[in-house]
Structure formats: C-alpha cells, structure tokens
C-alpha cells in the first residue's frame, strides 16, 4: 500500500474520533421531568412504590424512613 492511503485513513479515523469526543452529549429527562444522572427514578420513589419491605419505621418518640426496607432492631414498621 502506498503511504498516502495509510495517512489518509489515519486522518479520517482521527477526525471521527475527535468528532465523537467533542460532540455535545444530550441529557434525558426522567419521568418526573428532572435531569437525572441515569435518567431513572429516585431510590425513595422506587422504595415507596414497591410492595416489599417497610417504608416508615416507628421508634421511640419519632418516625423515620426505613433504609433498605428494614427498621432498626426493636422498632416497628408503619406503612
């Protein structure tokens, strides 16, 4: 092969790589209308909508959101 074909091919590949690197990225809105990192819903909404696990725990004199669908030991689940 001639050098001009190799150099031309490398120039085209380099131009395509530069274009792909510099092109503006488009962001997607999630279903709630916000721009998220992955376009999905938040963990809080997902945990509230799922039927498994606990969402609110009652302990002592205060209520708190259940982390991972479970309450601390000795606290009771309040849906």
Using pLDDT thresholds of 50, 70 and 90, give the confidence band for residue 12.
very high
CB 47 within 8 A of CB 55: yes
Specify the DSSP element, H or E, that contains 17. helix 3-22
Query: pTM above the 0.75 mark?
Result: no
Higher pLDDT, 28 or 12: 12
- CA atoms lying within 13 Å on the CB side of residue 55: 11
Tokens encoding 5 = 């074909």
For the stretch 26-75, pLDDT in tens is 666 666 666 665 544 444 444 444 455 778 888 877 888 888 888 888 88
**Contact at 8 Å (CB) between 56 and 78?**
yes
Mean pLDDT of the 9-15 span: 95
Whether 64 and 48 have beta carbons less than 8 Å apart is answered as no
Better-predicted residue by pLDDT, 43 or 12: 12
The ranges assigned to domains in the chain are 3-25+42-78
């Amino acid at each position: 092969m001639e050098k001009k074909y190799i150099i031309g091919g490398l120039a085209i590949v380099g131009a395509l790589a530069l274009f792909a690197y510099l092109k503006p990225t488009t962001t997607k809105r999630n279903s709630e209308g916000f721009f998220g990192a992955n376009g999905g819903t938040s963990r809080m909404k997902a945990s509230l909508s799922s039927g498994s696990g606990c969402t609110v725990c009652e302990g002592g004199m205060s209520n708190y959101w259940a982390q991972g669908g479970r309450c601390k030991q000795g606290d009771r689940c309040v849906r």
